[in-house]
């Protein structure tokens, strides 16, 4: 199924552009947005066709695409005129790097900037659940057991030293919120350069130091060759026994097997994960039964507010593109972000 939004404003748009040809957008409606969400692009001077994820492109003269890279590669022959693709995802380890390199005329832009608010909330919520022993008391609830046993071992986030791997949008939003808890926030980025809202920053080569200092460690890094298994067994062993580990970006950066070993042995306080090396997490995975481990199905960024921010992001770059301005969030092939 496809519907086109242009007829209602075609006359006014053509008048505003001096009768020039309308640029065409193909939008894949992943979230079943209502028609009015797309009308703004028609008013900008675009003609926009909206299709379901399972539908092929109805024609072959689109210049702009609102869809994921997988849709682009699946229909590359019919999308050969595309010059700009706006995606939704923040992490880009799944991107077809060779396709992007062989098509340098196409600008791929990510959804960075859309997820920071929602993911950072979950990251801090996950840390708080471990600190306040939610897994323990949830166990009591399932047993219908009214007990304070263990409650005096609960800890506060207030005044903690928190390490945030990554100082981009999601990491920065985490840092801003952590300051509300009077935390000392240490960021980790490639060079250790200063970043707003962080009390200090370290380079990735100082990961061991960061692990040893933190009460809470939150991973927001993209998965790249440089970040793969950045937090391995050796780094986890440097963490405090009371440390909390949170992962809200990608699997494969933190050694899950080593983490499970240490959690089951009581060598870490707990962990809250939204992302995993293998997804979906298979039923036989030990993570389902790991002690003090919160397992969320890679959806911590998905909220009602996310859809609104997607639209704002689309509008921003569509405006920039039609006026010949630099786009926001352009991805460098192979870099991963």
Could you give the residue numbers annotated as active site? 250, 279, 298
Question: How buried is 143 (Cβ within 10 angstroms: 0-12 exposed, 13-18 middle, 19+ buried)?
Answer: exposed
The answer to whether 172 and 116 have CB atoms below 8 angstroms apart is: yes
**DSSP code string of 50-82:** EE-TTSPPS-S--SEEES-HHHHHHTGGGGTT-
The answer to whether 287 and 254 have CB atoms below 8 angstroms apart is: no
Cβ-based neighbours of 194, under 8 Å, separated by 6 or more: 201
Torsion sign over Cα 311, 314, 317, 323: negative
The answer to whether 28 and 3 have CB atoms below 8 angstroms apart is: no
- Spatial strand order in the sheet of 161-165: 200-203, 184-189, 161-165, 216-219, 244-247, 270-273, 293-295
Burial 104-123 (b: 16+ CB within 10 A, else e): eebbbbbbbbbbbbbbbbbb
H-assigned helices in 82-232: 97-102, 116-131, 134-142, 169-178, 207-213
Strand runs (DSSP E) across the chain, as ranges? 2-5, 23-28, 46-51, 64-66, 84-86, 107-109, 161-165, 184-189, 200-203, 216-219, 244-247, 270-273, 293-295
d(CA 91, CA 336): 7
Closest Cα partner for 170 from 229, 207, 121?
121
The answer to whether 222 and 92 have CB atoms below 8 angstroms apart is: yes
Place of tokens 């949008």: 169
Show the tokens assigned to 260: 């499970």
């Amino acid at each position: 199924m496809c519907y086109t939004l242009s007829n209602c404003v075609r006359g006014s748009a053509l008048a505003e552009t001096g009768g020039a040809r309308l640029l065409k957008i193909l939008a894949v409606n992943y979230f079943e947005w209502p028609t009015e969400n797309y009308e703004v692009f028609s008013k900008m001077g675009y003609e926009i066709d909206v299709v379901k994820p399972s539908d092929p492109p109805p024609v072959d003269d689109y210049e702009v695409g609102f869809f994921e890279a997988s849709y682009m590669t699946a229909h590359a022959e019919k999308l050969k005129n595309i010059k700009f693709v706006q995606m939704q995802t923040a992490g880009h380890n799944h991107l077809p790097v060779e396709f992007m390199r062989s098509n340098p005329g196409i600008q791929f832009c990510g959804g960075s900037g859309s997820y920071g608010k929602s993911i950072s909330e979950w990251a801090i919520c996950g840390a708080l659940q471990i600190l306040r022993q939610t897994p323990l008391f949830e166990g009591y609830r399932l047993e219908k057991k009214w007990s304070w046993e263990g409650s005096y071992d609960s800890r506060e986030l207030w005044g903690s030293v928190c390490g945030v791997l990554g100082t981009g949008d999601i990491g920065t939003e985490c840092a801003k919120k952590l300051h509300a808890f009077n935390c000392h926030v240490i960021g980790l980025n490639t060079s250790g350069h200063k970043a707003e809202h962080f009390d200090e920053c370290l380079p990735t080569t100082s990961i061991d130091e960061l692990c040893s200092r933190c009460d809470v460690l939150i991973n927001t890094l993209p998965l790249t060759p440089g970040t793969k298994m950045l937090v391995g067994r050796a780094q986890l062993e440097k963490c405090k026994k009371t440390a909390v580990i949170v992962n809200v970006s990608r699997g494969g950066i933190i050694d899950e097997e080593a983490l499970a070993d240490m959690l089951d042995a009581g060598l870490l306080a707990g962990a809250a994960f939204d992302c995993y090396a293998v997804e979906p997490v298979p039923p036989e995975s030990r993570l389902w039964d790991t002690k003090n481990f919160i397992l969320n199905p890679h959806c911590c960024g998905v909220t009602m507010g996310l859809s609104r921010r997607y639209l704002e992001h689309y509008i921003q770059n569509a405006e920039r593109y039609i006026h010949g301005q630099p786009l926001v969030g352009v991805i460098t092939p192979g870099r991963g972000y």
